[in-house]
Structure 1
Amino acid sequence: MHCSHFTARRCLSCTELATAYPDQLSAKQRHCAGLLSAWPRIDWLPPVASAESGFRNKAKMVVSGSARRPVLGILGADGKGVDLRDCGLYSASLQASFEAMADFIRDAGLTPYDVAQRRGELKFLLVTESPDGELMLRLVMRSEAQLPALRAGLPALLQRLPKLAVVSVNLQPEHKAVLEGEREILLSEHGDLRMPVNDRVLHLRPQSFFQTHTDIAAALYRQARDWVEEIRPTSIWDLYCGVGGFALHCAGPWRKVTGIELSAEAIASAIRSRDELGLARMEFIVGDATDYVRQASERPDLVIVNPPRRGIGEPLARLLDESPAVESVIYSSCNAESLARDLRSMPAFEPVRARLLDMFPHTGHYEVIVLLRRREVSST
């Protein structure tokens, strides 16, 4: 993928862009296999490659410049805005939506937040696109001061972007390197974005997490489902379940599935998907994964974990390791270093299969999914 911003060194976010894509993928495979070399019997499935451009479903745009001439993109090394509305990571339809959003900022008189001066209101635009082309727009604001102007200008924006399904304001009043705050104010009639993935429809609320690459997320869920159908467990825990992607894909009419997630917004989204699909033997619970496992009186046959970059951590790894009823674990990781660390805390399990999925092309990051089976206990 050619990028004029990378060539001119205005944006270097795609750190591996100068490397041919097949070489990027090979390097990631070597890196991941090297980190998991302590388990030489892993059967590595072929890596899942990405499209080289137009794959990203989410834009996180710093808003700079002025209300009359907003700049959507990033802040350069000099603190000035770099406009990235033509970034090749985004689809053509997502790129096309940015012009209407910039006009909306101008017409509503939304003052971009000046980091150096610590003044202004609008900090970020967070835009998510569904496979159907529907959009969710979140405006991260410093305060509620310009909410009347936002509401007044919203009808014109919806007319220009008929596929804009969800609009909200996130309040982040503090001057610190935290993208968003806790409070969300819904401005649109609808509060969630439909995300068709494989044969399931997921729902995203404004503060719900979803992978940034829909096609690779779909492949990730299919891989987990294939392994589950091979193992045929009667019960599953999906820990760090988010909006329920793994749980919903691995459900069955005779299989009990429980999803655990700290985010109440994500659980509400998962419950809606469950109810639409009529999956009676599925439960979603708001809670901490480690606390839930520690307090549960029963254990499932199979556990799926999809933690943040820090991994599941030693306490949870030990709890799973010391639960003989858990025969299999499917571990989806965006950080193979924390994955390797967690596997060392689970000596009762043997990693038997793994697959790298290129969730983050042109960077050094990737997703890897690993199937673990409990080792047989010797009778002697």
Structure 2
Amino acid sequence: MPADVLCHHFDAGRCRSCAWLGTPYDAQLVAKQQLVEGLVGVPREGWSPPVASAAMGFRNKAKMVVHGSAEEPTLGILGPTGSGVDLRDCPLHTAGIRAALPVLAGFVTSAALAPYDVAARRGELKHLLVTESPDGELMVRFVLRSQEPVARIRKHLPALRERVPALVVASVNLLPEHKAVLEGDREIVLTEQETLTMRVAGLRLHLRPQSFFQTNTAMAAELYRLGRAWVAESAPRTVWDLYCGVGGFALAVAGTGADAPEVTGVEISPEAVASATLSATEAGMTGVRFETGDATAYAVAAASPPDLVVVNPPRRGIGPELAGWLESSGVDRVLYSSCNAQTLARDLAAMPSLRVVRARLLDMFPNTAHYEVLTLLERS
């Protein structure tokens, strides 16, 4: 595309996912900072400057709706009329993903994978999910309605790997129900390698197919570096990482020395816990353990609180029960990573004894109104 065009799909009105794309990037950062400062209410001296991201080529995961026909598939989104909008050259994606998507479109044809027709409720291939690691390796997941195409995918997979040597993990996810979700519960791994290695902030994190990872690798690395530095200042002996995912914060604040804190990570996803446990084992971090379970239930049932709690909840926040427990528990410090300053502000209001002493915005999602904000709370 021409040098002065950021995205021809946006300019043509085919895709408006990047709603802020027409706004200069510096102005985007200012607007996000003002929004978050106004909601969170931290004094200006408590804020560090926002962490800027590359405006394009930062997204390490493609979530592509497959439409059209096996002979002429579209990979992208559904338009207002339900037709497919092909976004295989979306400039948000990393270079490795952009290079792989046209080859994957050809694979849909060679393996005769009929795209799922939402209106007619027929067809098989619903989504293609592609993730690129910092090392340039790829994980590709085929979200299917049934197992019918699995044999064909297996048959043609060696040829695909020849054309895309970076492909190290391939799997099929089964989503038989007709509903607006990205994936189902059952995963069939098709390769010997089952995890994608994400090297960030000095960590070697394993990512299994159904595990969550931040979509902006550079911002994820900075998030974990900041978390490590802020936690280290108080030298806690015990740490909980609630909503730990694949263990990024837990492993970032842990260590292998004699003075390393005891760290417990809690996550509802068994796949994420398996990923985190493998990462800790390979790193020799014997003082770190991970449990599958509900973060709030774990905290409420505990006999005593740790010195520091890390929370990294989904957009809905930690909720009144966990916020109430943190307020009354006596825990000295909380590291709260939020992607929604509105729910963060609500949770902070429920914890008046825990005062925000440090905050920083990370632009995890350029060209949109979304962000990540890291806050450090101390008991007053």
User: Cα deviations across residues 50-103 of structure 1 (Å, max 9, x unaligned)?
Assistant: 001100000000000100111111111121111111111012221010121111
* 1:305–1:332 Cα contact (<8 Å) kept: yes
TM-score (norm 1): 0.97
Deviation at 1:298, TM superposition (A): 2.1
Counterpart selection for 2:272 from 266, 284, 300: 266
User: Cα deviations across residues 181-207 of structure 1 (Å, max 9, x unaligned)?
Assistant: 101111111111011002110000000
CA distance in 1, matches of 2:48, 2:267: 29
In structure 1, give the amino acid aligned to 2:364: M
* 1:42–1:352 Cα contact (<8 Å) kept: no
Residue 239 (1) aligns with residue 249 (2): no
Aligned position for 1:225: 228
CA distance in 2, matches of 1:88, 1:154: 26
Aligned position for 1:378: none
Residue 34 (1) aligns with residue 38 (2): yes
Residue 349 (1) aligns with residue 336 (2): no
CA distance in 2, matches of 1:122, 1:277: 38
| Equivalent position SS for 1:332 | strand
Residue 104 (1) aligns with residue 116 (2): no
Unaligned ranges ≥5, structure 2: none
| Equivalent position SS for 1:79 | coil
Counterpart selection for 1:14 from 18, 21, 25: 18
* 1:42–1:354 Cα contact (<8 Å) kept: no
In structure 1, give the amino acid aligned to 2:284: G
Residue 206 (1) aligns with residue 209 (2): yes
RMSD (CA atoms):
1.0
Aligned position for 1:277: 283
| Equivalent position SS for 1:322 | helix
CA distance in 2, matches of 1:268, 1:87: 32
CA distance in 1, matches of 2:14, 2:344: 34
* 2:94–2:132 Cα contact (<8 Å) kept: no
| Percent identity (aligned) | 60
The within-5 A match list for 1:174-213 is 174-213=177-216
Residue 5 (1) aligns with residue 6 (2): no
Residue 313 (1) aligns with residue 316 (2): no
Aligned position for 1:126: 129
Q: Which moved more, 1:90-99 or 1:102-111?
A: 90-99
CA distance in 2, matches of 1:35, 1:228: 24
* 1:239–1:305 Cα contact (<8 Å) kept: yes
* 1:306–1:333 Cα contact (<8 Å) kept: yes
Unaligned ranges ≥5, structure 1: 376-380
Aligned position for 2:154: 151
Aligned position for 2:79: 76
Closer, same or farther in 2 for the Cα pair 1:163/1:41, shift >3 Å?
Answer: closer
In structure 1, give the amino acid aligned to 2:345: A
Counterpart selection for 1:58 from 47, 51, 61: 61
CA distance in 1, matches of 2:86, 2:180: 20
CA distance in 1, matches of 2:163, 2:82: 32
Deviation at 1:41, TM superposition (A): 6.6
* 1:42–1:351 Cα contact (<8 Å) kept: no
